[in-house]
Amino acid sequence: MSPPLNRIIRQTDLPQFCGLKKTQIDHLIREGRFPRPVKLSTRRKGWLESEVAAWQADRIAKRDSEGP
């Protein structure tokens, strides 16, 4: 059985999807705190939607565990 398909979020669409600017995303990737991109071609990269969604869910869980 093949794994489920994952949509790719292109770099140009990523800031709108996660609410961060490109420079902030690059900084978090270097720190290991944001999913790494998938190389699509020599000049294009993208992110798996499931990995970005998991990152968002983790941020929400941290927020909720901190309390008011």
Report the pLDDT value the prediction gives residue 1, as an integer from 0 to 100.
55
How far is Cα 21 from Cα 33, in angstroms, rounded to an integer? 15
- Give me 46's structure tokens: 């993208």
What ranges do the domains of the chain cover? 9-66
Report the pLDDT value the prediction gives residue 3, as an integer from 0 to 100.
60
User: What is the strand order of the sheet 38-39 is part of?
Assistant: 8-10, 45-48, 38-39
pLDDT < 70 stretches in the chain: 1-5, 68
Report the pLDDT value the prediction gives residue 61, as an integer from 0 to 100.
94
Q: Is 38 exposed, middle or buried (0-12, 13-18, 19+ CB in 10 A)?
A: middle
Report the pLDDT value the prediction gives residue 23, as an integer from 0 to 100.
94
How far is Cα 66 from Cα 3, in angstroms, rounded to an integer? 35
